[in-house]
A and B are shown apart, each in its own frame.
Chain A
Amino acid sequence: MPKRTDLRRILLIGSGPIVIGQACEFDYSGTQACKTLKQEGYEVVLINSNPATIMTDPDLADRTYIEPITVEVVARILEQERPEALLPTMGGQTALNVTMRLHERGLLEKYNVQLIGANYEAINKAEDREAFKRAMHTIGVDTPLSRLIRNREDAMSFLEIVGFPAIVRPSFTLGGSGGNIAYNREEFERYVDWALLTSPVGEALIERSLIGWKEYELEVMRDLNDNVVIVCPIENFDAMGIHTGDSITVAPAMTLTDKEYQRMRDAAIRIIQEIGVDTGGSNIQFALNPANGEMIVIEMNPRVSRSSALASKATGFPIAKIAAKLAVGYTLDEITNDITKVTQASFEPTIDYVVVKIPRFAFEKFHGSNPILTTQMKSVGEAMALGRTFKEAFQKALRSLEIDRCGLISLNGLDQYLPGDELDSSLSERVRTAMQVAHPDRPWHIADGLRINISKDEIFAATHVDPWFLDQLEELVLFEQRLLNQARIHAREIAGGSMLDELFDSPAELELLKDAKRLGFSDQRLAQLLDVTPAAVRTFRRDHLPANDVTYSRVDTCAAEFEAFTPYLYSTYGHECEARPTDQEKVVILGGGPNRIGQGIEFDYCCVHATLALRELGIETIMVNCNPETVSTDYDTSDRLYFEPLVEEDVLNVMEVERPMGVVVQFGGQTPLKLALPLARAGIPILGTSPDAIDRAEDRERFSELITALGLRQPRNGAARSGEEAYAVASRVGYPVIVRPSYVLGGRAMQIVYDEQSLRQYIKTNIMTTAQYPLLIDQYLTDAIEVDVDAISDGVDVVVAGIMEHVEEAGIHSGDSACSLPPHSLPEDLIDLIRTQTVALARDLHVVGLMNVQFAVQGNEVFVLEVNPRASRTVPFVSKAIGVPLAKLAMKAMVGHSLRNLNFTDVPVTRHIAVKESVFPFTKLGNVDVLLGPEMRSTGEVMGIDQDFGWAFAKSQAAASLSLPQMGTIIMSVKDGDKPGTVDVAKRLQTLGFKLQATRGTAAYLLERGLDVESVNKVKEGRPHLVDHIKNRQAQLVVNTVGTASSHNDSLPIRREALQQNIPYFTTIQGIQAAVTAIEAMKKSSLTIKPLQDYHPV
C-alpha cells in the first residue's frame, strides 16, 4: 500500500529528559521519525521538553514545541496545530502515557486526532497486566503463573502449585513496590501476612518465580498488511531477575536451537497480532526454563524501545525509520533496505558477527544506594561492541565502558595467578561470595572464580549465567593463563632483553599473539599480563605481524549475501579489510561513549552537529563511538561509522586506516579529550583549540598562572599531600572549603567542609590522598551566585553566546542546578564584566571552537571557577535558547572558517527567558538523599521557555514532572542561615493564599515576623509529625534546607517521603524563591505555548 494521503500534519511526542530507563535511544527514534515523516511530505509537529536532543533542532520538525509533556500542554498543541494524526510509539513510556491520558479524557476525539502506529486498545492491552495475561491465554502463550489471594489458606494451596521460590506482592501499593521472594515456608507465610496487611484492598498476588531462567528479547515489526518480521533475537547473559536494561545482552541469540527459536518467533508473531499493534516495532521478552525449554512471555512494549535502538545498531536494520514509514501506510515490501539497496525491508537480518551490550552504572555517586541488580533498572548508560566472536565483542565492550578496566581484569589481585600457585583460602572464599551477588562487577568475579578453578557447575548455580557464556569466559581465562605460563618460562631466560622478543621468538609463539588479538585482548591488557607497556605491545605487533593487523568488517544485515553500501564498520582481526577509505578531505569525530552522569546526550548532540557542519562544507565525516542509543551511531549521520571503543588503541587504529586531515576531540566530553595528547603524539592533527591550551586550562598550576596573568580572580586554593598539610591549607584558604581528590572527574567525592573536624572526617573516609594524587582544597564562596558561560571563538573573534545564571547558589554542581538564560537577577554591569573576562580567557587560550567558563559572583566580585576549552553540557540548551547552532558554527571555525564569514559576530537579542532544570534518578536507587551538592547526580535536563522567568521556571518544573501547586499547604523546615530568606518567601506564599506550616524553629522565627504559621512536629518530636502530613498528602509543597551532616540524617525521611509521594520539594532557598515567582506568574496569566520556530523566526 502506498503512503496515506489523508494525513497532512502529524504530531510526534518525544520522551522528555534523560532518566534511568529512557535515554538517548528516544532521540534516535524520534529523530529518525521526524526525518522520515518530513521526507514523505508530512508536516511534523513535535513536542519534547529536552533541549539536548537532535530531534528538537528547529529544522527537523516543522513546529517544535520545547514544552512540558503534559496532557494540558499536548491538548493545547492539538488545539493550536490541528494535526490529523498522533504517532505515540517513538517517545518511550512518556509518550505512551500522555497519549493514553489524552484518549481517556476524550481530547483525541475532541480534536479529531487519529492514533497511528498503535491505537488505544492495543497499548492498553499490552500495558495492563491483567489484560495482557488474558490476551496471551487466548492465543496459547504462557505467562508467569500467578493468583490473587485474599487469605493465607488460598496462598498456601496455590503455593503447592508454584513451589519455591515464590513471589508475594501486595496489590495496589504505590509504584508496584513491596514484592518479596520467599524461599521457604516460614518466609512465605510471613510475606503473605505482611502483604495482606499492606495492601489497601487486602489482596496479594502470588507469582511463580522465574529467577534463573534464560531471558530473550525479540524485536518485531508489523505492517498494515499483517506482514511480520523479527529484526533480531537478543539473548541475555544475565538470567531472569536482572532488568534487561541492566543485563549484559548478546545478539544473535546464542543457545537456542532452531526449534526453540522458531517456537519463540511464532509466539512473537501471534502476540503482536493479538495485541493489535498495527505497525511498527514492538519488543517482546521471553523467559525460557533452562531445564526443560518451557517458554513464558514476560512482557511486550508496544512501541520502539531501548532494545529497538540496540537491535537497530546491532543489525543495521533501522527500526525507527521503518516504523515511521509503516505508520503512514507503507508495507515492508515497499521499503528498500538502505544497506543493500537491492533488497526490501521485509526480511529478517542475519548477522555474521556477535554483538555485546554492557550497561554502565553510577552507584558511586549515590551514597545509600544499593548496588545490587534487580528487576528495577539502575544503569545510566551502555556500551556496545561488535566482534567476530562473543569473546572478541565482549572484551571490546568491557573496554568501551571506560571504567578503567582494559578487559577481564582481576578484581581480587589474581591477574598473575596460575594454577598451582599458592592461594589464600580467604581469597577464594571472597571470590565465591562476590560471585553470589548480582553486582555490576559480577562478570569480573566470575573470571576470578574461573582463574582459581571454581567449577563451572558451581558458578552456574551461583549466577545462572548460561554455561555457554561461562565457557567463553573460561576460554579467555585459559588463554591468559597460557600466555602467563609462557611468560614465566621465558622470564627465567631473560637477561636484560625484551620480554616480548623472548616470548614470541618462534612462528608458533607468534600464533599466540595473533590469537590474543583475535580473542579481543587489548594491547593494554596484554601489557598488563606480560609486564610491558601497551606501546611496546603495539610496536612489537607492527614489527613482527604486519600482515595480521586489524581489519574492518561491514555491518550489512545479510551476512555478506549482498553487497553493502552502508559504511558501518567494526574492527576484528580477519582476512580482509572492508574499510575502503577514500582520498577525500575528511575529519574524524570522536563521540562520548556510554552515557554516564556528567556526560550524556548533550555531547552526542554536539558530535552530530559537527558532522552536519562538515557535510555542509563538503568535508567527509567519520564518526567513532560505542554508544548504541545515540543519533551519532546512526549509519546515515556520518559518511563512515566506526563502532569502536573510545580508547587509545582502537582510536589510533581507525586513524591509521583513515588518515584524516584532523580529529575533533572537543565535542564528546571528557572521553575524547583524554585522547587528545596520545593522538597528538601519534601525529594526528587535533582540530581547534590546541592540546596545550586544554592543558593550561586543566592543569591547576598553569591555570592559576593564567588567571593571575589576566588579572582575574579565582577562589583561594591549595593542594595537600597529607592530613596535616590539608589542615594548614584549609585554614589558610579559610573555611568553608570544597575538597576533592585531584584525579577524579565530574565532582566525584567532592564535598563542602565547614570546619577542621569535618575535614578530618572527610580524610578518614576518603583515604585516597596519596603523594601522586593530592587533595585539592578550594575556598567555598558562600552565598555566591554561579554563572555558566558558553562562548565560541575562531581564534580571532570571540562571541559570548550564552550567560546562564544558576538558580541554586554556588557549590551545587553546575550540572545539577537550574539556570536561566539570560540571567534573571544579575545586574548589567556584572554581566558585562563576565563577558569581558570570558573574551580575555578565550583570547589568551587561543580557543578555536567552543569554551565554557564557570564564574561565581559574590557581592560585586567575580571569581573564575573553571575554564573548559571544549563543548559543554549547556551547548544545546544555549543553542535552542538563542536560536543559533553553536556546535555547528564551532566546527566550521575549527576547520578554518571565520565567525565573521559565518555571519556570527553577535548574539541575537531575545525577548524570552529559557530555564534549564535538572532531573534526578533518586526514586530508582534506594534510600539516597536528594540534597544537592558539589557532586553531580542528575541524569538529564529539561528546558522551560516563556516570556518571563516565572512561567519559564514553572514550565521547567512541570517538564521535570513537578507540578507546582496553586493552593494548599506548604511545609517548611529550614536551617538557621536560611531563616531570614524564608520570610519573604513565606509572605509571598501567604499572599497567594497558601496555608503555612513549619517545624518549631522555623515557625517561631516566622511568627515573630508577623506571619500566620502553624507549628508541626519534627520526626523526633512525636506524632503526628511532618512526615505523617506528607504521607497523608496534607502538604502540597515541602521546603527543607539543612546545614550540618547530622541534620541531614534527621531530615532525610522528609525529603524521601516528599519524593515518594511526588510532592514538589525544594532543598534550597533560591529554589523555593524561584518556585514562588513561578506560582505568582501562573496565577497572574494563563499558559501559553509557542514553537521554537516562532521564537526564532528565520
Chain B
Amino acid sequence: MAWNVISSPLMGEDEGEGMTKKAILALADGTVLEGRALGFEGEASGEVVFNTAMTGYQEILTDPSYKGQMVLMTCPHIGNYGISPEDNESRRTWAEGFIVNEASRRPSNWRSELSLHEYLAHHQIVGIEGIDTRFLTRHLRTHGSQAGIISHGAGVNGSPDDLVAKAKALPSISEQDLVETVTCNSTYEWNEGTGAWPQRLNASGQVDPVPARRFHVVVYDFGVKQNILRRLVDEGCTVTIVPASTTAETVRTLNPDGVFLSNGPGDPEGVSYAVPHIQALLGWRPIMGICLGHQVLGLALGLSAYKLKFGHHGANHPVMDLRSGKVEITSQNHNFAVRLPSAEEHKSLLETPWGSFQATHVSLNDQCLEGLVGTTVPVLSVQYHPEASPGPHDSSYLFNQFRTMMEQAHA
C-alpha cells in the first residue's frame, strides 16, 4: 500500500503550507466564491459547466470535448481512487479548470499511480476545492452556464472584482472553433481494444472473440475519446484517425468501409467547414456520429443547432429508443443540440437531399433529440456517448449496429 505523502489542508499551515493557499472562483455574473488551491498554481478561465457523474473524473479531465470548459463535479469527494493510466480518454487533459467540493489527497485503489492533485499539477490544470458545489450547480442551473476564472498562487493579481471583469471579457464558446485545438495534426492508426474492461459481453457473460479485422473505419477527429476507438477495434475494425479538416476526397482515397464522426468540444457551427465533406460522404459509406459528430451531421442534413441552458453533463441521463420503447441510461456531455424542424418530426420522417431520416432517440429529461438514423441511407448518430467511459454501457450496442451497417453495405 503506497501512501502519497501530501499533506492535507486539515493538517495545519506549518505542515502543508502549499495546500492551504486560498483560491478564488469568479463568474462573469459577479459571483465570487472562495476556496482552497488545488492542482497547478495559477489562473485558468473557461465556461463553467457542472457534471453530475459520481465516477470517472479522470475520463472527464481527458475528454477533449471539455476544451474551453472548467468542470465542476457535483459528487462531493473527488480523487478518492486516484489516477490510473488505463483510464485516460486522450493523450492529455483538456478541461481548463477543475472545481470540487473536496479532493482526496491520498488515493485508494489498486490501480492508482498518482493522486488527483499530483495529476492536475503535472498537467498544469488549475483547480479549486472547498467550494459549495451544490450552491454553484444550482446557480448555473438557474442562470445558465457562464464564463469563470479560477485564480490562485503567485499568479493572482487583482481583486475579485478584477477577476469578475476578466471573466466577463472572455469570449463565448458559441461559434468558436475549439475543434481546431484538439484534433490531431496528422493521420494515425489505432489498434487497441477495451481489453480488460470489455463492454459487450454475450449472453454467457463472456467477451465475444474480437471479430477478424474485416472493416476499415476512418474517424474524423473532432476531439475523439479513445474509448470510441477501442470500441471500434472491439467490433473488428482497423481504425484510421484523420484531422477534422480532412476532405471527402482524402477520405475516399483511404477507402474505408465506414466513416465515423467523433465527439468534440463546443459549437457545431465552429466546424461548419466539415459540413460539405460529410455531405459528400453521405450515402457513399455507412456513417456513425457521436455528440459533436451527431451535431455536425445534423448541420449537414440541414438541421439547426442551439445552445442548451446548462447542457447535459452526467452519467445518468435516460434516453428512450423510440423504436423499441426501451430506456437506456446514458453518458452525456454536450452544451449544444440539434433540433428537428418541428416536434412532430420525432414521429415522422425527415426528408433531405441525402435521403430520409428518422429520430430514433429522445431524452426523457427534456425531450431533446438524442439520435437519428437514415432510413434510406446507412447513417446512425447519437447525441450521447455509447462508448461511455465514464458512464453506463447500456448503449454499447450502437457500435454493433454500425458494424452491421458496414456488413450490409458489403453484402
Chain A interface residues (CB < 8 Å from chain B): 138-141, 225-227, 229, 233, 252-263, 265-267, 270, 290-293, 331-333, 342-344, 346-354, 388-390, 456-457, 460, 466-468, 471, 475, 478-479, 482, 515, 519, 553, 558-563, 574-576
Contact = CB atoms under 8 A, between A and B. Distances in A.
Interface in B30-59: 33, 50, 52-56, 58-59
Contacts of B137: 352, 559-561
Given A466-B108, A475-B8, 15 more contacts: A138-B205, A139-B205, A225-B326, A258-B59, A259-B87, A262-B197, A344-B364, A350-B53, A352-B75, A352-B101, A388-B134, A389-B101, A519-B10, A559-B74, A561-B314
B364 A333 contact: yes
Given A252-B75, A347-B329, A482-B12, A257 B81 contact: yes
B132 A257 contact: no
Contact of B1 (A260, A351, A460): A460
B138 A350 contact: no
A332 B364 CA distance: 11
A397 to B, nearest CB: 16
Chain A's interface: helix, strand, loop or mixed, by majority?
loop
A347 B365 contact: yes
A255 B109 contact: yes
Interface in B153-211: 197, 199, 201, 203-206
B291 to A, nearest CB: 18
A194 to B, nearest CB: 36
Interface in B71-105: 74-77, 80-81, 84, 86-87, 101-102, 104-105
Contacts of A348: 315-316, 329, 392
16 contacts: A227-B326, A257-B58, A258-B87, A333-B318, A333-B320, A343-B364, A343-B365, A347-B318, A350-B75, A351-B54, A351-B75, A354-B77, A467-B3, A475-B8, A479-B10, A576-B132
A354 B135 contact: no
A344 B318 contact: yes
A460 B12 CA distance: 25
B55 A256 contact: yes
B327 interface: yes
A823 B106 CA distance: 65
Contacts of A460: 1
A468 B104 contact: yes
Interface in B317-345: 317-318, 320, 325-327, 329
Interface stretch (B120-128, B350-358, B383-391): B383-391
Given A225-B326, A227-B327, A350-B74, A258 B8 contact: no
B9 to A, nearest CB: 9
Interface in B350-383: 364-365
Given A257-B111, A290-B110, A560-B74, A350 B318 contact: no
Contact of A471 (B74, B104, B109, B327): B104
A574 B316 contact: no
Given A140-B204, A350-B316, A482-B10, A258 B329 contact: no
A281 B392 CA distance: 19
Contacts of B54: 233, 252-253, 350-351
Q: Which 6 A-B pairs have the closest CB atoms?
A: A140-B205, A258-B56, A575-B132, A258-B390, A468-B108, A559-B74
B277 interface: no
A561 B315 CA distance: 12
Contacts of B393: 262, 265-266
A257 B53 CA distance: 12
A346 B364 contact: yes
B391 A560 contact: no
Contacts of A349: 316
B3 A456 contact: yes
B327 A346 contact: yes
Contacts of A267: 205
Nearest to B200: A266
Contacts of B55: 253, 256-258, 261-262
Interface residues of B, number: 66
Contacts, number: 202
B8 A257 contact: no
A343 B201 CA distance: 30
B76 A352 contact: yes
B186 to A, nearest CB: 30
A419 to B, nearest CB: 12
Nearest to A136: B205
Contacts of A457: 1, 3
B395 interface: no
B176 to A, nearest CB: 25
A222 to B, nearest CB: 11
B134 A574 contact: yes
B143 interface: no
B205 A141 contact: yes
A737 to B, nearest CB: 54
B141 interface: yes
A254 B77 contact: yes
Nearest to A289: B110
Contact of A559 (B12, B56, B134, B318): B134
A255 B87 contact: no
Contacts of B389: 258-259
A12 B65 CA distance: 50
A262 B387 CA distance: 12
B74 A352 contact: yes
A562 B104 CA distance: 27
A344 to B, nearest CB: 5
Given A258-B55, A270-B201, A350 B314 contact: yes
Nearest to A1: B325
Contact of A482 (B11, B132, B318): B11
A578 to B, nearest CB: 8
A478 B390 contact: no
B207 to A, nearest CB: 9
B12 to A, nearest CB: 5
B76 A515 contact: no
A262 B388 contact: yes
A259 B110 CA distance: 13
A255 B81 contact: yes
B133 interface: yes
Contacts of B76: 352-354, 388-389
A560 B315 contact: no
Nearest to A466: B108
A394 to B, nearest CB: 12
B108 A352 contact: no
B132 A347 contact: no
A350 B8 CA distance: 27
A257 B317 CA distance: 19
Contact of B329 (A141, A225, A229, A331): A229
Contacts of B50: 559-561
A563 B139 CA distance: 11
Contact of A352 (B134, B325, B329): B134
Interface in B201-234: 201, 203-206
A267 B393 CA distance: 11
Nearest to B136: A575
Nearest to B207: A140
Nearest to A266: B393
A226 B321 CA distance: 13
B204 A347 contact: no
Given A229-B329, A256-B81, A475-B10, A350 B52 contact: yes
A389 B75 CA distance: 10
A235 to B, nearest CB: 10
Nearest to B202: A140
Contact of A262 (B33, B203, B204, B392): B392
A576 B133 contact: no
Interface string B291-304: 00000000000000
Contact of A350 (B197, B315, B325, B365): B315
A574 B135 contact: yes
B367 to A, nearest CB: 10
A806 to B, nearest CB: 51
A346 B84 CA distance: 31
